[in-house]
Amino acid sequence: MRFSQIAAAYATALLMAGTAPAQSQQETPHISLELNKLEASGTACRLSFVMENRSSQDIDAASYEIVVFGKNDVINQMSVFDFGVLPQDKTIVRQFELSNLTCEGTGKLLINGPAGCSTEFVSGHCTTPLSLQSRTSVSLIQ
């Protein structure tokens, strides 16, 4: 085999290897929800979330039922968090203050599911999977 044939074969192999990861990295449509920060605010705990709408559509209204557990795994509060409009391929930040809750005593947050969904109103958040992450010591689970 001559050098030019070897070089051509090597270049072809590199090109094929370079396209494989790109194909496997295509994202499944989802909404990314990250618990980014918890901070005390008087007698409340302020929760800061970062969301990214990686679905194939704008979402006009997104609400989720969230259950707050203490570090002892006992339910502390249950609330519906209204994240509002989620434009497609956009990152947003939303903050919620939960009264009579200490951040230090919070163990985990359970996303119980989408809220406000019915047969008459099917928002994109009702059917789009969630991808969860927490940058805090408090777990974010489904």
Domains identified in the chain, total number: 1
Read off the pLDDT of residues 40-60 as tens digits, 9 standing for 90 and up: 998 899 999 999 999 888 998
Whether the pLDDT of residue 81 is over 60: the answer is yes
13 belongs to a structural domain: no
Using CB atoms within 10 A of its CB, is residue 140 exposed (0-12), middle (13-18) or buried (19+)?
A: buried
Radius of gyration of the chain (CA): 22
Per-residue model confidence (pLDDT) at position 13: 47
Q: What is the average pLDDT across 23-30?
A: 66
CATH of the domain at 82: 2.60.40
For residue 56, what are the domain limits? 30-141
Length of the chain: 142
Specify the pTM: 0.77
pLDDT at 122: 64
